[in-house]
Amino acid sequence: MTRQDLHPRPIVDLDGLRFRWRSNASSLLSIERLRIAPGERILIEGPSGSGKTTLLNLLAGVITPSQGRIHILGQRLDTMTAIARDHFRADHIGYVFQMFNLIPYLSILENVLLPCRFSRRRRERAQAMRPGPRQRTSQALRAEALRLLEQLDLGEAACAKQPVTQLSVGQQQRVAAARALIGAPEILIADEPTSALDADRREDFLQLLLTECADSKMTLIVVSHDQALSALFDRRVRLINGEIH
């Protein structure tokens, strides 16, 4: 094993980060350093209001820090324009939002395929997941979306063209997970991804996310209050009053 293998370049590197919602407010987040290695599985935990969702939004480039640097995949995210951050996110980050953010007038399949519309890279990677005889791009993408939905027990609902608005909250959460996974982005971020599931289905669902991430060598960053799941992660990051403990 080389020195490089022992200390791979971090996929996420936060440095001197401060975040406040208003310029005259005190910092909600104050993180001197957070490095995440490629392929690591990180659980972020902490009391309600401690800034977990805000931290995820900073990592995904939805918002930018008041001070400090954020490097993702070696690229400086905080100095990019909003449009560049949107492109970067579409290409490299799958995000399961706390409120799912599904588009109500699109079908289940169309929701899952959204990242492939915004990102050529995700489209090509999703297409490459379909081995075998050459298919048309749209067929290959649909097949990959269906594979993910079937893994998540939603194949039937997708084939029956059930509107997303008629899905249970737990089903919507799984559609959001399939959408985040499609095209194997390097980083999967999930905000309370098991909150709408029964206790006995949480571990199965998370195992599935972990397996998909491992197969595609994705880095997984999850916020959860569920202590029972912590053994499934490589590292826990505890946020208290906006600082890492």
Give me the residues that bind ligand ATP (CB under 6 A), please. Answer: 21, 28, 46, 48-54
Distance of closest approach, residue 98 Cβ to ligand ATP, in angstroms: 6
Q: Is the Cβ–Cβ distance between 10 and 219 less than 8 Å?
A: no
Least Cβ distance, residue 173 to ligand ATP (angstroms): 15
Per DSSP, helices labelled H in 93-198 are 108-118, 120-128, 137-151, 155-159, 169-181
- Cα separations in angstroms, 198 against 25, 141, 153: 39, 30, 15
Contacts of 89 (CB under 8 A, 6+ apart): 60, 61, 62, 95
- Our CB check for ligand ATP shows the closer of 58 and 154 to be 58
Q: Minimum CB separation from ligand ATP for residue 15, in Å?
A: 20
The whole-angstrom separation of Cα 116 and Cα 124 is: 8
8 A C-beta contact, residue 237 and residue 34: yes
* Distance in Å from the first CA to the final CA of the chain: 31
Taking the least distance from each CB to ligand ATP, the nearer of 137 and 195 is 195
AA letter at 75? Q
> 54 or 172: whose CB is closer to ligand ATP?
54
Q: Which helix (H) or strand (E) holds 72?
A: strand 67-72
Q: How far is the CB of 237 from ligand ATP (least distance, A)?
A: 12
Closest approach of Cβ 242 to ligand ATP, in Å? Answer: 8
For ligand ATP, the closer CB: 53 or 137: 53
Q: Closer CB to ligand ATP, residue 14 or residue 182?
A: 14
* Nearest approach, Cβ of residue 206 and ligand ATP (Å): 18
Q: Alpha carbon 114 to chain centroid distance? A: 14
* Between 50 and 127, CB nearer to ligand ATP: 50
Half-sphere exposure of 169 (CA within 13 A, CB side): 10
